[in-house]
């Protein structure tokens, strides 16, 4: 008989472990935008993305209906974290400013990453990301109760770019032993099962483990 104690709790964060995606999109003035997020899941050739309605990326996707999902490897944790508290929205929403967000008009320079043009969509790829998925928006659904505060985007992958070294030789399959994605788990970065880096987002979410480290 298994003897395990379960406790009913009011969980504040539900990020049990999801891949980090750098979403490339275009701002209204045509400049590139790059936003890290980890509310994404795939089914077939489609992907669902969850984005807050105050994000510039949300406005870009609703307007342009195109984006690139750049899948970050664990080695890019530092670059991703440099984008964590930035926004391309010229007027920073009050709730974001309160936790440290600031306007950033050149996300690629801030992250130290290299912009590549999409082959089909007018949105940027990230050269350092070994998997880049060019996508078009198929549908957008209001999300959240009692009032929608986010948008769930259904996007369709129309072209995939993968570093050759990640592929099983002679196939179009990614070798899972070679692909080490950056995972966001309870607002911390993980790769290969190890905690590879702390995250500035954890402070914004007031995660207890990081607050203890900060106050030590």
Please, which pLDDT band fits residue 201 given cuts at 50, 70 and 90? low
User: Tell me, what's the pLDDT at 16?
Assistant: 81
The residues spanned by each domain of the chain are 18-215
For the segment 129-141, the average pLDDT, to the nearest whole number, is 97
Please list, residue by residue across 29-49, b when 16 or more beta carbons sit within 10 angstroms of its beta carbon and e when fewer do. Answer: eeebbbbbbbbbeeeeeebeb
- What DSSP character marks residue 57? H
For the segment 90-105, the average pLDDT, to the nearest whole number, is 93
**87 or 200, higher pLDDT:** 87
Decide if domain 18-215 falls under CATH 2.60.120.10.
Answer: no
Output the pTM of the full model. Answer: 0.87
Distance between CA 189 and CA 199 in Å, rounded?
Answer: 7
pLDDT at 216 over 50: no
pLDDT at 210 over 60: no
**Cα pseudo-dihedral 141, 28, 134, 69, rounded to 10:** -70
Q: How far is CA 66 from CA 40, 139, 186, in A?
A: 16, 11, 29
């Amino acid at each position: 008989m298994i003897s395990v104690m379960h406790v009913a709790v009011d969980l504040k964060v539900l990020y049990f472990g999801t891949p980090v995606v750098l979403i490339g999109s275009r701002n209204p003035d045509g400049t590139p935008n790059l936003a890290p997020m980890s509310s994404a899941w795939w089914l077939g050739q489609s992907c669902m993305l969850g984005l807050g309605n105050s994000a510039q990326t949300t406005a870009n996707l609703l307007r342009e209906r195109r984006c690139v999902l750049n899948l970050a490897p664990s080695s890019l944790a530092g670059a991703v974290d440099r984008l964590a508290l930035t926004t391309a929205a010229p007027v920073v929403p009050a709730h974001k400013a309160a936790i440290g967000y600031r306007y950033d008009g050149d996300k690629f320079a801030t992250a130290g990453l290299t912009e590549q043009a999409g082959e089909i969509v007018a949105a940027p790829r990230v050269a350092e990301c070994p998997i880049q998925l060019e996508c078009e928006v198929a549908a957008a659904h209001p999300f959240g109760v009692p009032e929608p505060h986010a948008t769930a985007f259904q996007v369709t992958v129309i072209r995939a770019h993968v570093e050759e070294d990640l592929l099983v030789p002679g196939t179009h399959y990614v070798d899972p032993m070679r692909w080490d994605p950056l995972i966001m788990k309870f607002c911390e970065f993980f790769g290969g099962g190890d905690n590879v880096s702390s995250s500035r987002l954890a402070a914004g979410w007031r995660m207890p483990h990081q607050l203890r480290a900060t106050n030590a």
